[in-house]
Amino acid sequence: MNNLRKYLHRASVLFVVFVLGILGRAIIINAASVNVSIETEKSEVVVGDEIIVTINISSKDFIGDYETNLTYDNEMLEYISGSSVISGGYGFLKISNIDVAEGSKNIKLAIKFKALKTGVCDVGFTGKVMIFSFETGDGMPVSSEILTLKVNAQELASNNNYLKDLKVKPQGLEPNFSKKVFEYEIKVNKDINDLTINAIPEDEKSKVTVVGNKDLKEGDNKVIVTVISESGLKQDYIINTIKEFGDELGSNNPFEEFISDMEIIEFEGKIYAMLKTKYQIMELKNDDIIPSGYVRSQLSIGDITIESFSPENELDSDFILIYAINNDGGEGFYKYDRIEKTIQRYVEPEEISQESPDLETGWDKEELSKYKTKSKGNTITIIVCLIVILLLTVIVIRQHLKLKAYKED
């Protein structure tokens, strides 16, 4: 009987425990859960990029206090800033908001990182994510996830600083455009004041600038098209533009009268040598192109002195050179004859080398030497032949005489 009572007592206890377990499970199941997600706009970034990571906390019930810790690889990501409830750094962030005055069903927290090096990095919670109901203060069941970021190497900036095409209006380029030819020349008439430049870079990330194509002056102009690559390398394309001189220079034109002797005239900031036509005196900056045997000197006519070039061994020579541009835009050295009062384009004489051809025969020295040697040998041969012929002739005559004497006897 006692055993039966013990058995019934145990059965009653087990039943109560079972019922309580079912009720407790029902309570847990009915309690609202919280979902915590970690998101970013791009899962793949490049070294140097700044990344905004968003933590979304959502529930059907009002959320009160919450507290958790977030970890990341501090060698790959640098913490820049975050919401007011976030603090820390160097791979560990504390997220804590206690004594919340007003509950919310959706909470968003923003964190800014900077990508430091390549690799794969996980951003996630460590330990328990504690979130409490605003209404009851009870802990709420939480589900969370991990964010995986891939950091790629930064693309190398392009060094391409070439032009794909270069067009100039109203005149074409000389020579024709080629991306590896960096200097061109064009000539325009006196009515052209501006050039229209259409320069297209080979790399669309390159930048192109143009200077010098506006307000062209008479004579030499330099238009520079500069291409700057993405990496910062510069390349200049130079268009040497020669604008012809105008015939009409206004009522104060100093060139109207015919000039029989050379004069030096300054007009509108430019210096001209005048002799039947005008030559704009130019500054020579490159000594390497001074003709051989000439040195810099000065020529004074009237009150104006210009740079000239005189023979090195005869500075007071009647022939001197000036560096100028003529009416047709021809730039170079011009020879001035002080006696004849003439100016003509200077052509540097070619040096006659030791190997130069003989002026009479057109042969070089080696060929001439061979010819003379051969001629000498031929002369000796001819002389020998003549001597032999002479001897043979003498012998024949003597034999003939002997034969005649014999017959007479």
* Domain range enclosing 118: 33-152
How many angstroms separate the Cα of 275 from the Cα of each of 32, 265, 272, 311?
106, 11, 10, 22
Cα maximum dimension of the chain: 204
Residues 327 and 245 sit within 8 Å (Cβ to Cβ): yes
| Terminal Cα distance for the chain, rounded | 204
CB proximity list for 372: less than 8 A, separation 6 or greater: none
Q: CA 49, CA 78: separation in Å to the nearest integer?
A: 11
Query: Does residue 401 fall inside a structural domain?
Result: no
Q: CA 109, CA 84: separation in Å to the nearest integer?
A: 9
Task: Please tell me whether residue 8 adopts helix, strand or coil conformation.
Answer: helix
Query: Does residue 368 fall inside a structural domain?
Result: no
Q: What pLDDT, on a 0 to 100 scale, did the predictor assign at position 24?
A: 46
One domain, residues 281 and 238:
no
Q: What pLDDT, on a 0 to 100 scale, did the predictor assign at position 9?
A: 52
Q: What pLDDT, on a 0 to 100 scale, did the predictor assign at position 369?
A: 63
Query: Does residue 18 fall inside a structural domain?
Result: no
Looking at 121, 152, 183, which one is the last position of a domain?
152
**Number of domains the chain is built from:** 3
Residues 31 and 139 sit within 8 Å (Cβ to Cβ): no
Query: Does residue 63 fall inside a structural domain?
Result: yes
Residues 273 and 337 sit within 8 Å (Cβ to Cβ): no
One domain, residues 234 and 283:
no
Residues 298 and 305 sit within 8 Å (Cβ to Cβ): yes
The pair of three-digit structure tokens given for residue 312, joined into one six-digit string: 């090195």
Q: CA 352, CA 380: separation in Å to the nearest integer?
A: 34
Looking at 212, 243, 274, which one is the last position of a domain?
243
One domain, residues 313 and 275:
yes
| CA neighbours closer than 13 Å in the CB half-sphere of residue 99 | 0
Looking at 128, 152, 176, which one is the last position of a domain?
152
Which residue bears the tokens 């023979």? 311
What pTM does this model have? 0.40
The pair of three-digit structure tokens given for residue 176, joined into one six-digit string: 């024709």
Amino acid at 175: P
One domain, residues 148 and 168:
no
One domain, residues 286 and 336:
yes
Residues 279 and 342 sit within 8 Å (Cβ to Cβ): no
One domain, residues 237 and 267:
no
Amino acid at 148: T
User: Is the alpha carbon torsion for 305, 310, 313, 318 positive or negative?
Assistant: negative
CB proximity list for 231: less than 8 A, separation 6 or greater: 156, 157, 158, 159
One domain, residues 169 and 190:
yes
Over the chain (409 residues), the average pLDDT of each successive run of 10 is 52 52 45 90 91 95 95 95 94 95 94 94 94 93 94 88 93 91 93 91 93 92 94 94 70 47 75 78 85 85 80 85 85 85 80 46 55 71 87 85 71
SS (HEC) of 42-74: CCEEECCCEEEEEEEEEEEEEEEEEEEEEECCC
One domain, residues 231 and 282:
no
In sequence order, the β-bridge partners of residue 123 are: 147
Q: What pLDDT, on a 0 to 100 scale, did the predictor assign at position 371?
A: 62
Query: Does residue 45 fall inside a structural domain?
Result: yes
Q: What pLDDT, on a 0 to 100 scale, did the predictor assign at position 316?
A: 80
The CA-CA-CA angle for residues 134, 139, 140, to 5°, reads 85
State yes or no: cis peptide before 141, omega within 30 of 0: no
Q: CA 240, CA 168: separation in Å to the nearest integer?
A: 12
Q: CA 224, CA 9: separation in Å to the nearest integer?
A: 106
DSSP string, 154-220: PPPPP----EEEEEEESS--BS---TT--EEEEEE-TT----EEEEEESSTTSEEEEES-SSPPSEE
Query: Does residue 274 fall inside a structural domain?
Result: yes
Q: What pLDDT, on a 0 to 100 scale, did the predictor assign at position 350?
A: 64
Q: What pLDDT, on a 0 to 100 scale, did the predictor assign at position 112?
A: 96
